[in-house]
Amino acid sequence: MSDLLVATPTVMTPPRIHLPPLPEAEIYYPESDGEPMGETDIHVDEIATILKMLKIRYLAAPDVHVAGNSFIYYEEGDPTARFSPDCYVVFGVPKRLRRTYKLWIEKRAPVFVMEISSRKTWLEDFGNKKALCAYLGIAEYFLYDPENDYLKPPLQGFRLKGALYESIEPEADGSLFSETLGLRFHLENDLIQLTDAASGERLLRPEEADAARRAAEAARRAAEAQAVKEAKERYAAEARLAELEAELERLRGKQQ
């Protein structure tokens, strides 16, 4: 019996396809840590008040960014290198809404940071966050304890000298002068007040601004109503005078 020859099948190797490398995954910089603000009413109100006053002050300035309670990222590629000031001001960047603030994109660090300290935050505000702001070259760092329980004194300011912060000495009236903002910070009944150092004009707190707007609107309406009343009285007087002149002319005509 002859040997059976079995053909070995030929295995075809598919051509190698050269695909371009996958792009590096974009690094995600979260806008929130998922935690609620979790502060007392007075802390929330005072943060909102300070932000509102500063936003109104710089409303017409196209290159001033005022924000708060949003993440500032300070190291490209590291989403954990971040902090969230209660209030901060940046000069030399376009005024626009931002989801986060990235230093390597904006090329400008804040010049002013203010923290409204509470039982939960005051140690961090006075320690690590203050040191971080000095490291980032933030010119001024202010602390404010609206409950006057955790910081003594409850309003404190620091100005960068070299690589470290030095305390800002209070003015004769007890206020703290911010060189970067040109404002004096002081307390009245434990609530923050801001005064323009150049003009001496006090910035209105939101509730005061609302009351002033309501008063101005009431005065405008009263002035308009008075103007309408006076116009009606003038029209009636002129009409009466015209009647009297017409009657006088009629009587003269009878006498002729």
How far is Cα 34 from Cα 13, in angstroms, rounded to an integer? 52
Q: Identify the pLDDT of residue 1.
A: 46
Say which residues have a Cβ less than 8 Å from residue 91's Cβ, sequence separation at least 6.
63, 64, 108, 111, 180
What is the tens place of the pLDDT at every residue in 59-89?
999 999 999 999 999 999 999 999 999 999 9
Domain segments of the chain as ranges: 41-203, 204-256
What is the tens place of the pLDDT at every residue in 107-166?
999 999 999 998 888 899 999 999 999 999 999 999 999 988 889 999 999 999 999 999
Mean pLDDT of 39-61: 92
**In degrees rounded to 5, what are phi and psi of residue 74?**
-120, 0
For residue 53, is pLDDT > 60?
A: yes
What is the tens place of the pLDDT at every residue in 196-232?
999 999 999 877 766 666 766 666 776 676 777 777 8
CATH class belonging to 41-203: alpha beta
- 3-state SS record for the chain: CCCCCCCCCCCCCCCCCCCCCCCCCCCCCCCCCCCCCCCCHHHHHHHHHHHHHHHHHCCCCCCEEEECCCCEECCCCCCCCEECCCEEEEECCCCCCCCCEEHHHHCCCCCEEEEECCCCCHHHHHCHHHHHHHHCCCCEEEEECCCCCCCCCCEEEEEEECCEEEECCCCCCCCEEECCCCEEEEEECCEEEEEECCCCCEECCHHHHHHHHHHHHHHHHHHHHHHHHHHHHHHHHHHHHHHHHHHHHHHHHHHC
Cβ atoms of 160 and 111 within 8 Å: the answer is: no
Q: Global pTM?
A: 0.74
